Amino acid sequence: MAVYTRFHYAPSTDTMAIERVQDCTPIADLTKELHNAGIHGSSEWKHAAKVPNVIIERYCDLKGITFEEWMGNEEHMRAVLNDSALADFRIWPGKV
């Protein structure tokens, strides 16, 4: 589940863009399998999701925070884990 970085340069405008790419389909397939098999963790420690790196990176970019800030603040983690648009990456369906 590698993340690739692509650089794009437009000489006509002398601009550059950086694109981060990850095939998230295998992650979504795995989380669906784990969910359907009932592998949600224990009653004390739920396995809520497997979130692709590019989604976390995008969230951090939009919020203007570092990955360390995302990891250290449960509000940021909850925002990603409870986002209905990311339901394909959820294993345990409960609200975090």
Q: Where are the alpha helices (DSSP H) in the chain?
A: 25-36, 53-63, 67-72, 74-81
Residues with Cβ within 8 Å of 62's Cβ and at least 6 positions away in sequence, in order, are: none
* DSSP 8-state assignment for residue 95: -
**pLDDT for the residue 94:** 84
pLDDT digits (tens, 9 = 90+) for 10-58: 999 999 999 999 999 999 999 999 999 999 888 888 899 999 999 999 9
Assigned token pair, 66:
């570092």
- Give the whole-angstrom CA distance, residue 51 versus residue 31: 9
